[in-house]
């Protein structure tokens, strides 16, 4: 199996920044040279915002010195915002909040400036709640290793971290933008403008333009209480109201084209400009088409030393593990056994000979296949339907729990944790295994023949739990109890072993015994579940719920967004039913639902019995004679068995012309 990554895009910008006092002094410049600037090269790494590409965010964060977290002011803080902020916190990168689509508050929601201000405040507060919860959760984990006497000092350190990481436009780490209209600003821009206009300190304006602060135009005094009952916060009166007035002007209908008259002077200038544009466009018509169509640019970060042009670089894969060295020692990193390392890093292929791509979601899978087809291999590929893993288990029956004897057993073996939490329990009265977990070695005599086949029993158990009897999927959450081990002596010990080595027979017998014991119980199928988050308008909720019901989704919560007709719905959606879900959802709701965010949540047991058949008259009346067509669990099992080439209960017509009824012949 190969994990294919989707690369982030990088943008380079040149920023002319002012010189610091230290740089001005080093260049021999005095304070009169305020116009002197120094260029800074800023590389922006743009990562996809979809939850399927969260690993791209992790890679980009490790390359950068800062982060811009983009939030849609209409949708607010969503599940992906939580994930991105946590990644920034774990890597120690202080993020800046960018509140995008401010124009939609005017066009779509038609908020007043005061309503928009309150809505923006709630978004900033929710982002701060996420930051505060992460800081305090990490501090609590550290407190478990510290002394109780250090708790007061630790609280002060936690408050210091919160002040450093909290979002506030007054701190300059919150930006307001409209990417569609191409503008963005921070409070610092307006603070500099109004401080010159009213001849007041800029720091006073930077602090007063956010929060419940009010300005008196005559006295030029800022205070935290309203001057009059009609007073509005300074952020509303000095920033949002002018912005709203500009957009209201643009929203007014334009006069008809016939009533518009053009100045002849302006028309002549446009004609001259058209000639210049034609000449410029002609240059691109003769561009060199033989140059490379694709260029790969690697973005790296130098933590120590200097990187120069034409330097030779060695790229080490993710599995490289250098040998440890004592402190104050320097060693060179050289390619050792390069050919063997390349073989070790080869892609894994499934037992069927198929190349399997592991993806986080449907969108990630589509992008990987597209990159393989169009960018890397550039050959047509035959791609199968998406493969979804299941688990097999048994339904929990009635049991009487005895607290005194709940641990009165010997745990012989745990299954591989990549398969599931399964147990092999030893309850043989006169046999205590030497490898029993949670119990000391009691000294098994070598004369006991059962001790020689203990590893074979464990191997058979591991094979049985790796592929269950339903559809060869891993077994999940099942305990197998060994009641007794009996070895039957052969009549003729000198006879040849026609069934192979005895250890192999024990493995096969143990595997078959576990599978037979499993199938005798009420078996169930376990499926993976997504946590689905979607936003939808109120008038389309009925169509949204019909799509959920069609795909066996279970709605968890439904919340109305503040000040809008958008509902935020959370539901559990089976992973196997998620393919094509976004397309069907947008089609059914006429585009009034947002793109669903799907995050793996848990495994759940499907309640339906895959082998249920109506037995009583009431069951036949409710379900019919056969319900295989309506049994979702049975249908999924048949699909998996068909994909794996296993035997299925499928009727095949051999001689169709001989199976005609007498009624048809008349």
437 in the same domain as 350: no
Q: For residue range 221-272, list pLDDT tens digits in order.
A: 888 877 777 788 999 999 999 999 999 888 777 777 666 677 778 778 888 8
Q: For residue range 531-573, list pLDDT tens digits in order.
A: 998 888 888 889 999 999 999 999 999 888 766 778 889 999 9
* 578 vs 383: CA distance, rounded Å: 18
352 in the same domain as 439: no
107 in the same domain as 231: no
Backbone angles phi, psi at 607, to 5 degrees: -75, -25
* 290 vs 285: CA distance, rounded Å: 14
CATH code of residue 514: 3.30.230.10
- 151 near 105, Cβ under 8 Å? no
226 in the same domain as 132: no
DSSP secondary structure code for residue 472 in this structure: S
162 in the same domain as 129: yes
Domain membership of residue 628 as a residue range:
609-666
170 in the same domain as 85: yes
- The per-residue DSSP string of 42-111 comes to EEEEE---SGGGHHHHHHHHHH-S-EEEEEETTT-S-HHHHHHHHHHHHHTPPEEEEEE-HHHHHHTS--
Which residues make Cβ contacts (< 8 Å) with residue 368, sequence separation at least 6? 4, 6, 357, 359
- 471 near 644, Cβ under 8 Å? yes
* 478 vs 397: CA distance, rounded Å: 12
Backbone angles phi, psi at 328, to 5 degrees: 65, 25
Residue 245: per-residue pLDDT: 92
The answer as to whether 451 is a domain residue is yes
Give just the sign of the alpha carbon dihedral 556, 561, 565, 568. Answer: negative
- Three-state secondary structure call for residue 477: coil
86 in the same domain as 172: yes
The answer as to whether 469 is a domain residue is yes
The answer as to whether 265 is a domain residue is no
- The per-residue DSSP string of 93-156 comes to PPEEEEEE-HHHHHHTS---HHHHHHHHHHHHHHHHHHHHHHHHHHHHHHHTTS-GGGHHHHHH
Residue 404: per-residue pLDDT: 45
From 78, 54, 70, select the one nearest 535 (Cα to Cα).
78
- Three-state secondary structure call for residue 473: coil
Residue 57: per-residue pLDDT: 80
- 77 near 128, Cβ under 8 Å? no
170 in the same domain as 72: yes
Long-range contacts of 551-555 (CB under 8 A, 24+ apart): 551/577, 551/578, 551/581, 552/577, 552/632, 553/577
- 465 near 514, Cβ under 8 Å? yes
Residue 343: per-residue pLDDT: 45
- 128 near 166, Cβ under 8 Å? yes
Residue 336: per-residue pLDDT: 52
* 16 vs 27: CA distance, rounded Å: 17
The residue behind tokens 């029956």 is 397
- 364 near 6, Cβ under 8 Å? yes
The answer as to whether 552 is a domain residue is no
Pairing, β 479-482 against β 423-426: parallel
The answer as to whether 394 is a domain residue is no
243 in the same domain as 136: no
159 in the same domain as 59: yes
- 205 near 195, Cβ under 8 Å? yes
* 95 vs 389: CA distance, rounded Å: 37
The answer as to whether 13 is a domain residue is no
The answer as to whether 422 is a domain residue is yes
Of 226, 254, 282, the residue that ends a domain is 254
- The angle at the Cα of 377, spanning 375 to 382, to the nearest 5 degrees, equals 110
71 in the same domain as 171: yes
CB atoms within 10 A of CB 486: 6
82 in the same domain as 120: yes
The answer as to whether 138 is a domain residue is yes
The partner residues of 11 in beta bridges, in order of sequence, read 44
- 529 near 553, Cβ under 8 Å? no
Structure tokens of 354?
A: 């198929």
What's the structural domain count of the chain? 5
What does pLDDT average to in each consecutive run of 10 residues of the chain (666 residues)? 41 67 70 64 79 75 87 86 86 91 89 92 92 83 60 66 87 91 91 88 88 82 77 90 90 72 78 80 63 68 83 76 59 51 51 77 85 84 88 76 50 63 79 50 54 81 89 89 75 52 81 90 91 87 91 90 78 92 88 84 88 75 65 87 81 60 53
């Amino acid at each position: 199996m190969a994990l294919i990554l989707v690369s982030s895009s990088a943008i380079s910008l040149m920023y002319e920044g002012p010189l610091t006092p230290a740089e001005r002094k080093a260049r021999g410049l005095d304070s009169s040279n305020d116009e002197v600037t120094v260029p800074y090269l800023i590389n922006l790494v743009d990562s996809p915002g979809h939850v399927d590409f969260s690993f791209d965010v992790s890679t980009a964060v490790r390359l950068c010195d800062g982060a811009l977290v983009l939030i849609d002011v209409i949708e607010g803080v969503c599940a992906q915002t939580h994930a991105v902020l946590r990644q920034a916190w774990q890597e120690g990168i202080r993020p800046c909040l960018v509140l995008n689509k401010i124009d939609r508050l005017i066009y779509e929601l038609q908020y007043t400036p005061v309503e928009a201000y309150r809505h923006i405040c709630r978004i900033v507060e929710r982002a701060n709640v996420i930051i505060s919860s992460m800081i305090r959760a990490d501090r609590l984990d550290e407190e478990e290793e510290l002394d109780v006497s250090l708790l007061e000092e630790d609280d002060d350190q936690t408050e210091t971290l919160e002040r450093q990481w909290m979002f506030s436009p007054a701190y300059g780490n919150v930006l307001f933008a409209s990417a569609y209209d191409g503008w963005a600003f921070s409070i610092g821009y307006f603070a500099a403008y109004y401080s010159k206009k009213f001849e007041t300190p800029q720091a006073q304006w930077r602090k007063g333009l956010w929060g419940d602060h009010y300005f008196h135009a005559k006295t030029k005094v800022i205070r935290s209480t309203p001057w009059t009952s009609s007073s509005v916060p300074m952020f509303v009166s000095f920033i949002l109201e002018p912005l709203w007035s500009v957009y209201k002007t643009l929203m007014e209908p334009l006069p008809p084209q016939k009533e518009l008259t053009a100045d002849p002077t302006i028309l002549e200038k446009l004609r001259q400009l058209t000639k210049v544009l034609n000449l410029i466009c002609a240059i691109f018509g003769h561009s060199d088409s033989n140059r490379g169509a694709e260029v790969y640019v690697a973005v790296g970060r130098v933590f120590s030393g200097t990187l120069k042009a034409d330097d030779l670089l060695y790229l080490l894969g993710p599995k490289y593990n250098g040998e440890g060295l004592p402190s104050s020692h320097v060693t060179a990193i050289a390619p050792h056994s390069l050919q063997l390392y390349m073989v070790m890093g080869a892609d894994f292929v499934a037992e069927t000979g198929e190349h399997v791509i592991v993806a986080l979601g449907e969108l990630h899978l589509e992008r990987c296949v597209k990159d393989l087809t169009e960018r890397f291999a550039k050959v047509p590929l035959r791609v199968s339907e998406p493969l979804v893993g299941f688990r097999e288990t048994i339904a929990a029956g009635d049991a009487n729990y005895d607290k005194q004897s709940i641990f009165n057993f010997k745990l012989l073996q745990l299954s591989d944790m990549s398969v599931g939490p399964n147990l092999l329990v030893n309850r043989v009265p006169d046999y205590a295994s030497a490898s029993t977990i949670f119990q000391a070695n009691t000294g098994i005599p070598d004369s006991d023949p059962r001790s020689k086949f203990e590893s074979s029993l464990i191997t058979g158990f591991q094979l049985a739990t790796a592929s269950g009897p339903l559809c060869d999927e891993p077994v999940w959450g099942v305990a197998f109890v060994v009641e007794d081990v009996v070895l039957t002596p052969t009549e003729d010990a000198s006879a040849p072993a026609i069934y192979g080595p005895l250890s192999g027979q024990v493995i096969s017998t143990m595997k078959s015994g576990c599978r037979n014991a499993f199938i005798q119980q009420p078996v169930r199928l376990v499926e993976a579940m997504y946590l689905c988050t979607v936003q939808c308008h109120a008038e389309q909720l009925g169509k949204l719920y019909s799509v959920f019901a069609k795909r066996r989704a279970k709605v968890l919560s439904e919340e109305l967004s503040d000040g809008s007709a958008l509902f935020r719905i959370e539901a559990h959606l089976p992973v196997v039913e998620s393919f094509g879900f976004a397309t069907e959802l947008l089609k059914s709701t006429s585009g009034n639902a947002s793109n669903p965010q799907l995050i793996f949540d848990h495994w759940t047991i499907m309640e339906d019995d895959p082998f249920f058949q109506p037995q009583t008259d009431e069951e036949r009346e409710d379900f019919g004679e056969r319900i295989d067509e309506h049994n979702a669990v049975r249908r999924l099992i048949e699909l998996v068995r068909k994909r794996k080439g296993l035997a299925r209960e499928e009727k095949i017509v051999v001689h169709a012309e001989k199976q005609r009824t007498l009624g048809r012949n008349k």
